[in-house]
């Protein structure tokens, strides 16, 4: 019982703290790969804590079903009341079964929504890539499909094989080394399978649009993955070429604002970190900080579960 | 260049967009024979697929079909770009743009970075 309460509480704390604290830690884009990993760890831990809480609650209901102990029930009610106060006023009144059902239903519905979102994203991406392959031209020396369009832009789509699309206007605007930097950036996304991560975080953000953790996680992961791809492109073609490419294409076309709040992937932040690269010490510092953060995130629920199952009164203040 | 089946669709559409007016399978087949070894039935099924997917319209003339692209290449390109730019709206399309939209705040921040860069270069 107190395991479930502890896990839910922990999830709530992470949902409040992480979207406020973590963007601050990863703002500068030092060690963007490590930062992406930490975001994924945070999201996975919250999801796991919900699923585990649902399971723990269900097990508890099943165990106590045949031998209702009025005292135990009263104690449980008090625990549930304190745990869900402010979250679910109705469930609070209805005993233990209702929160167990509600929590399980929530987990199942969330999984179904995310699953549906993933499937539809895959289908959309495949259709778009197929159209791009038919409409786009193969131009010698351009490692991507060139689509005739007045907008200056480049993008990539996941799938097998991945697809890089660049418009004729962008090809015309970019000098050859700059064009190669853009294409290397897109290839880095595909090689790193970034679209898989983006599809997953997007599905979560779209399934629970009110949860700040997931919308912020999606926006931040998208931003950090751009920086990862920037680093790869800069290593291969030089920072100057990549910067010139960004400046050539920046602000070229008005893209409608996105619903997920990821209106921009921090172009000025990308430019800043390219012009003013991190020192090795700063990168190490960022890594240590991120490792410590993810250590706390992962260790806390495990400790809480261990403490509550071993009778250690760690959850006492919350569950009493 | 890879010669997968999907690739053949691109090649056939390329030929049809380059031609004026309606075209039979035989004409496309003979056109393609100049560049590659290919079976008539392959061309026929490719064009049938393109018709089924909406890329080609056709009407029967005698024993053969006359095919014509449903839209021009420019129209398809515009449609593709609209689709790519609609990311994050109601669409489920996930793609990584080289540059996302720049908001007003963002472009002000970018100008600031550029000014700083310029002044640093000037100072050197």
Range name among A52-56, A67-71, A275-279 with the lowest pLDDT average: A67-71
- A190 shares its domain with A313: no
The reply to whether A143 and A264 lie within a common domain is yes
Domain shared by A115 and A128, yes or no: yes
Looking at the structure, do residues A214 and A121 belong to the same domain, yes or no?
no
- Same domain assignment for residues A54 and A110: yes
Q: Cβ separation of A275 and B89 shorter than 8 Å?
A: no
Identify whether residues A99 and A167 lie together within a single domain.
Answer: no
- Does the beta-carbon distance from B101 to A186 stay under 8 Å? no
Residues 292-311 of A with CB under 8 A from B: none
CA distance A315 to chain B (A): 41
Give per-residue pLDDT as tens, A256-282: 443 333 335 577 788 888 888 888 888
Residues of chain B with Cβ-Cβ distance to A124 below 8 Å are 91-94
What does DSSP assign to residue B70?
S
Q: Which of A157, A229, A255 sits opposite B85 (nearest CB)?
A: A255
Domain at B49, CATH number: 1.10.10.10
Domain with A129, as residue range(s), is 1-135+278-320
Number of domains, chain B: 1
Q: Return d(Cα A152, Cα A129) in angstroms, integer.
A: 19
Domain count for chain A, please give it.
2
Q: Are A251 and A293 in contact (CB under 8 A)?
A: no
The interface predicted TM-score of the complex, written ipTM, equals 0.81
Measured between alpha carbons, how far is B103 from B101 in angstroms, rounded to an integer? 6
Residue B11: give the domain boundaries.
Answer: 5-69
What burial letters (b/e) apply to B2-12, b meaning 16+ CB within 10 Å? eeeeeebbbbb
The answer on A55 and A103 residing in a single domain is yes
Say yes or no: B90 contacts chain A, CB-CB below 8 A.
yes
Q: Is B38 a member of any domain?
A: yes
Give CA–CA dist A34/A17, Å, rounded.
19
Beta strands A154-157 and B95-97 are antiparallel
Say yes or no for a CB contact (<8 Å) between A262 and B117: no
Say if B107 falls within a structural domain. Answer: no
Query: Do A314 and A233 sit in the same domain of this protein?
Result: no
pLDDT digit of tens for each residue in chain B (124 aa)? 444 556 899 999 999 998 888 899 999 999 999 888 899 999 999 999 999 999 999 999 888 899 999 999 999 999 998 888 875 555 567 777 777 656 666 667 777 777 776 676 555 4
Residue position matching structure tokens 């070429």:
A241
B102–A250: do the CB atoms touch at under 8 Å? yes
What residues 146-165 of chain A have any CB closer than 8 A to a CB of chain B? 147-149, 151, 153-158, 165
How large a percentage of chain A has pLDDT more than 90?
Answer: 41
Contact B101 A258 (CB under 8 A): yes
Query: Does the residue B78 lie in any domain?
Result: no
Model confidence pLDDT, tens digit, residues B85-118: 875 555 567 777 777 656 666 667 777 777 776 6
């Amino acid at each position: 019982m107190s395991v479930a309460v502890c896990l839910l509480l922990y999830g709530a704390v992470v949902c409040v703290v992480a979207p406020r604290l973590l963007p601050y830690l990863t703002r500068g884009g030092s060690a963007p790969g490590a930062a992406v990993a930490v975001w994924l760890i945070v999201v996975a831990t919250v999801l796991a804590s919900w699923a585990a809480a649902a399971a723990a609650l269900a097990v508890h209901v099943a165990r106590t079903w045949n031998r209702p102990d009025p005292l135990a029930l009263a104690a449980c009610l008090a625990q549930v009341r304190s745990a869900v106060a402010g979250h679910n006023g109705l469930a609070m009144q209805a005993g233990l079964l209702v929160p167990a059902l509600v929590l399980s239903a929530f987990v199942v519905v969330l999984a179904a929504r995310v699953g549906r979102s993933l499937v539809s994203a895959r289908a959309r991406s495949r259709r778009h890539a197929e159209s791009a392959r038919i409409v786009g031209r193969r131009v010698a020396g351009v490692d991507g499909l060139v689509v005739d369009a007045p907008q200056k832009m480049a993008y990539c789509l996941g799938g097998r094989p991945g697809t890089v699309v660049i418009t004729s206007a962008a090809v015309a605007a970019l000098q050859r080394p700059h064009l190669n930097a853009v294409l290397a950036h897109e290839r880095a996304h595909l090689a790193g399978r970034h679209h898989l991560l983006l599809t997953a975080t997007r599905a979560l953000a779209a399934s629970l649009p009110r949860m700040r953790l997931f919308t912020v996680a999606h926006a931040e992961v998208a931003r950090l993955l751009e920086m990862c791809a920037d680093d790869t492109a800069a290593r291969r073609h030089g920072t100057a070429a990549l910067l010139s490419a960004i400046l050539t294409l920046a602000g070229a076309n008005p893209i409608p604002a996105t619903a997920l709040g990821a209106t921009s992937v921090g172009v000025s932040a990308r430019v800043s970190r390219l012009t003013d690269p991190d020192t090795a010490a700063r990168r190490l510092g960022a890594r240590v900080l991120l490792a410590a953060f993810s250590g706390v995130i992962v260790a806390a629920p495990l400790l809480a579960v261990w403490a509550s199952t071993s009778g250690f009164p760690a959850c006492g203040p919350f569950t009493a | 260049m890879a010669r997968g089946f999907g690739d053949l669709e691109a090649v056939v559409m390329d030929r049809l967009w380059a031609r004026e007016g309606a075209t039979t399978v035989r004409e496309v087949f003979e056109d393609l024979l100049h560049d590659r070894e290919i079976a008539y039935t392959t061309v026929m099924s490719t064009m049938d697929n393109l018709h089924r997917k909406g890329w080609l319209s056709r009407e029967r003339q005698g024993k053969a079909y006359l095919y014509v692209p449903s839209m021009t290449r420019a129209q398809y390109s515009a449609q593709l770009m609209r689709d790519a730019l609609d990311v994050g709206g109601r669409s489920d399309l996930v793609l990584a743009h080289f540059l996302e939209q720049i908001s007003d705040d963002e472009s002000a921040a970018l100008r600031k970075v550029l000014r700083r860069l310029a002044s640093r270069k000037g100072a050197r």
